[in-house]
Every structure is written in structure tokens, then in C-alpha cells.
Amino acid sequence: MPSGKLQVIPLGGLGEFGMNCMAVRYGDDIVVIDAGMMFPEAELLGVDIVVPDISYLVENRDKVRAILLTHGHEDHIGALPWILSELNVPIYGTEFTLAYVEGKLEEHGLLDDADLIEIRPGARFKVGIFTIHAMQVTHSLVDCVALAVHTPLGVIIHTGDFKVDPTPTDNRLFDLHAFAEYGKENVLALFQDSTNVERRGYTPSERAVRARFAEIFHRAPRRLFLSCFSSSIHRINLAIEAAYNNGRKVALVGRSMNESVEIAQDLGYIDMPEGAFITPGQIRDYAPEKVCVLISGTQGEPMSALSRAAVDNHKHAKIEPNDTVVLSSRIIPGNEKSIYRVIDHLFRRNAHVIYDDGSTPPVHVSGHASQEELRLIINLVRPRYFIPVHGEYRQLKLHAELAQAMRGAVGQVLMMESGDVLEFDELGARKAGKVKVGRVCIDSGSMGEVVEDLVIRDRRHLSEDGFVLPIIAINKLTGQVESVPEIVMRGFAPGSEGDAFVEKSRETIMKTLEASSPEEIADYGVIKEKVRQDLKRYIAKSTQRRPLIMPVILEI
């Protein structure tokens, strides 16, 4: 074997859901697999999305050759606008994936300068020292690939997100043959999706939903509203087919739903019968039992079309008694409250609500491999090293245990988290330190607005204890305090003795001012800090609360 070293460095996605991003480095060449985002936890107040910290890539910008995309879900492409604003490198992806990327980059004004290179499943291409082989896999999205990266030390395979679907709706089969061929060649390492490792057996085929859709579409007495991820082209296709077979016209409501269907139609993934579509404005022109509405907002996003329709606040999508609403998606961890709030509103409108309730046949199937499919791929590839990726720590650990139990199919199992450097050379593999990783919080979907930890801390502080604004009027010429300080409070409750508390706070401020020299009073920075400290001490002592205190000096 050559004496060089191969390094694999996950920059996100290991130990967390989302932010999937992995750097592969040999010598002076780096390729990046995926560039995902994640949605913020509840404690990240006012943050819209979270993207990985790419300090390592920026420090090695002259070595980064390309970003390789496995598929078009947000947790794999959502960070591209922020990464491309720092590193303008070529992006390789399949036709459908790049169609999503184009829309995202156009929104951020980056499309004109972007170098997007289309790859086809089965294709091989060179990037720097690496040769990449894109292998067709099945998932809840169309046009997805796993990547076999040929390096001077051997082949590493990154599965991307996948399930082994024997009957995909687009008839593009999982390329098991390609995985089996690599199994004959002594694969160096397999990096495999851990999302569904807790589920036994096999993940049902996408076509398993068809029977339930046929039953629902046939029985629904009035309008039928169906909400799924706008990227679930297989699911949308099945819904359109079921609507057509039951004599229902299809209306698309929601920006993301319209954009996804338009892209899928242009690329031939959805074949709409002539006259099957109507505009949202035409919904009321047809008898209720002749309409199906495909509506976005399946995760209860506050301003989504479904959330607005659920509270009767949508121009076209009106949900009335006896209408049927189908939520054909899983509940993403952390979204439970907002989704069940929408479901409650739908029940208040006396709608029939059908969601993923464990019934058979199902209204939703996962896009990720369960235990038997994970074992199947491991048995086919038979890697020297196995590394679980994509998932929280418990899932990575369970996946590692599953692989360890497969003696003979796997050489050695290694556990990694984001930031770990996995190094291969002719002597084997080992962890070789860490690089700086973390998360970058983006506010208001604006490219420049990165939210610092300090801002998040202040927001949390305000949300818990409120703020107190002491306003002090000082004569600029004499340096004298002109009147009794005003106290403004927001989000802070002083308790039953409100008036007495305000009076005592004023006295505390006046004592501070009286104890200060004319020089201190003339220096507004100093006097503000003295007032803040003394008032903070008094409030903490009398209420055991710590509001944000921001003294304001008015010059008279």
C-alpha cells in the first residue's frame, strides 16, 4: 500500500439529526460528502436553521476540490448557500438533486457563480486524486445515490440515506449488484446510515402506501386534503394516481409543494394525466367529493399552508366539517407539539384526521433502512472497517453493536462523533485527534445573520426573567440628577408588592448616584455599570430573579 494517509472527518451528522457533512482527505485533496442543515431545538430562540461550522474546510480551502451530494433532502443540501459563500467549489449531484440546489442558490443570489456538475447513477468520475462511483439507491426522495470513493489506500463507501425498496414507484431499482461487486474487492471502510437502526425487520416499500391511499380516497365523503413532505415525490405521485382513479381533481397549495411538483414534472418523475390539475382558486368550483388538495406543512410549521388552513386563515384551503385530512409523514423529533397543535385545530373543525397511527396498510412508510436491510448491505460489502453515521449517539452505538455481531462480515467496528479524525494508512485505522466543529445558528433565513451564542443566551435570559430598564435624567451642565429615576419592566413580575418594589428600586439607584463622584456621574459608561450592579444585587436579594438590566441615561 502507498505510505500516504487517508483521513475521514465528519463535520456534522454524527451524534445529532441533520447537518450531515463529511470531509475525505488524502494528501492535498479534500472532497466533501453532503452539506446539510438541521432545524433548531426549542432552546435556540429565534434561530431558523443551524448549519455546521466549516472552519476546517476554510483553513484548508486550497485543498477542497468538490462537494459531492448523495440526494436532495435539506439535512444533506441545506447548508450549501453558507458553505458556497465561503468556498466556491464545484458541486456534483444527480439531476433531481441539482434541480433543488439551483432553487436554493437562486434564492440566495449564488446561482450565477456556482459550478453545478450533473452525475448519473452508475457513473464514475475523477475529483483530484479520487475516483468516485455513484451507485443508485432507493429512499423517500428520487434520484439518490451512495458514493464509492476510490482512494490510493482502497475504496470507502458512503451509503447516504437509503432503504432497500424492491418495488420503487419510479422503477429505478437499488443497485445491489454494484455493492456486491465491491464486496469481492476488499472494501476499506463502509459508512452506513443509522437512522432506523432501532427498527427490526425490513422497511416497507413505498408502494405499501398505495392500498391505504386507495381506501381513503374511495371513502372520503367530501374534500380530501393530503399533506406530506414536498420532496416525497413517490408519495405525491401515488396521491395523484389515487385522485385520478377516484375522479378527483388535484390542487397544489403551498410554495414548496408547487416547486417540487414542477421540478418533478419537468424531469419526468410525475406524469400528470391531461386536465388532472386545478388551481387553488378553482377548489370551490368543484363538488367537494371531486377535489383532492395536496398541501404543504406536514410538520406544523407556523406559517405553512396547512397550519393556516387549520385555523381558517388560508385564502383557498378551507377545511370544513366532514372533510378528510391525511398527514402522510413521520413526526420529526422536536416537532411533536406543533404537529399535535395543528391536529387539534383540525379536529375542532370537525374534520376526519388520519395520521401515522400504526395501522395496516400504513399511511406513511420510512425512507430509511431497518435492521435487516442494514445487515444485507454489510453482508454484501464485507468491509475491513465499519463506521455508523447519521444519527444520535444511541443509534450510532446500537448500529455498531449490530455490525459487531456480524462476525466474518466486518473486520473492525469504529465509533466516531462529529469532529473526530479517522486516519487510515498501511498499518490500519485509528482516531487521530479532533478538528473544530460545532453549529452556526442562522436567523431569519438571511445569509449574513449568523447568531452568536451570546445573543442566544440573552434571548434565553429575557424569556425566563424579562428585563428592567432604569431611566435616569442627568443635567449635562451641572451633572445633577434632574428627577426621580423611572423604572420600566417587561416580562418581569416583582410579585404582590409591585409598587413597593419599584419605590425601593428607585431608592437603590438614588443611593448609587449619591455615593458617586461628579467624575463618575459624568462618565456615562461607569455610572450605567454601577447602577446595573447595585440594582441587580437588590433585585436578586428581594426576588431571587435575575432580569436583564439596561440602564438608560437621558441628557437634559
Task: Label residue 544 left, alpha or beta by phi (over 0 means left) and psi (-120 to 50 means alpha).
Answer: left
Distance between CA 264 and CA 253 in Å, rounded? Answer: 16
Task: Confirm whether residue 76 is marked as ligand binding.
Answer: yes
User: Rounded to 5 degrees, what angle do the CA atoms 378, 380, 384 make?
Assistant: 60
Task: Confirm whether residue 390 is marked as ligand binding.
Answer: yes
Q: Strands, E, within 296-379: which ranges?
A: 324-327, 352-354
CA 50 from centroid of its chain's CA atoms: 7
Among the options 234, 352, 368, 399, which is catalytic?
368
Task: Confirm whether residue 133 is marked as ligand binding.
Answer: no
Task: Confirm whether residue 139 is marked as ligand binding.
Answer: yes
Distance between CA 487 and CA 85 in Å, rounded? Answer: 45
Phi/psi at 196 (5° precision): -105, 25
Q: Are 534 and 514 in contact (CB under 8 A)?
A: no
Cell of 462: 429575557
Task: Confirm whether residue 75 is marked as ligand binding.
Answer: yes
Task: Confirm whether residue 266 is marked as ligand binding.
Answer: no
Task: Confirm whether residue 48 is marked as ligand binding.
Answer: yes
Task: Confirm whether residue 419 is marked as ligand binding.
Answer: no
Determine how β-strand 116-118 pairs with β-strand 124-127: unpaired
Phi/psi at 373 (5° precision): -70, -35
395 burial level (CB within 10 Å; 0-12, 13-18, 19+): buried
Task: Confirm whether residue 62 is marked as ligand binding.
Answer: no
Q: Are 57 and 30 in contact (CB under 8 A)?
A: yes
Comparing C-alpha atoms, which of 147, 109, 19, 24 is closest to residue 73? 19
Task: Confirm whether residue 368 is marked as ligand binding.
Answer: yes
Distance between CA 406 and CA 412 in Å, rounded? Answer: 10
Distance between CA 475 and CA 66 in Å, rounded? Answer: 63
Where helices occur in 31-189 by DSSP H, the ranges are 55-59, 74-77, 80-84, 95-107, 176-183
**Residue 38: DSSP 8-state:** B
Question: Which amino acid appears at position 292 of this protein?
Answer: C
Task: Confirm whether residue 364 is marked as ligand binding.
Answer: yes
193 as an active site residue: the answer is yes
- Provide DSSP, 51-81: EE--HHHHHTGGGEEEEE-S---HHHHTTHH
Among the options 193, 323, 420, 534, which is catalytic?
193
Task: Confirm whether residue 534 is marked as ligand binding.
Answer: no
Q: Are 296 and 325 in contact (CB under 8 A)?
A: no
Task: Confirm whether residue 293 is marked as ligand binding.
Answer: no
**Residue 151: DSSP 8-state:** E
- Provide DSSP, 178-211: HHHHHHTT--SEEEEE-TTTTS-S-PPPTTHHHH
429 burial level (CB within 10 Å; 0-12, 13-18, 19+): buried
Q: Are 153 and 26 in contact (CB under 8 A)?
A: yes
User: Binding-site residues for Zn(2+), please?
Assistant: 71, 73, 75-76, 139, 161, 390
User: Binding-site residues, please?
Assistant: 46, 48, 71, 73, 75-76, 139, 161, 364-368, 390, 443
User: Binding-site residues for substrate, please?
Assistant: 364-368
User: Binding-site residues for Ca(2+), please?
Assistant: 46, 48, 443
Active site members? 193, 368
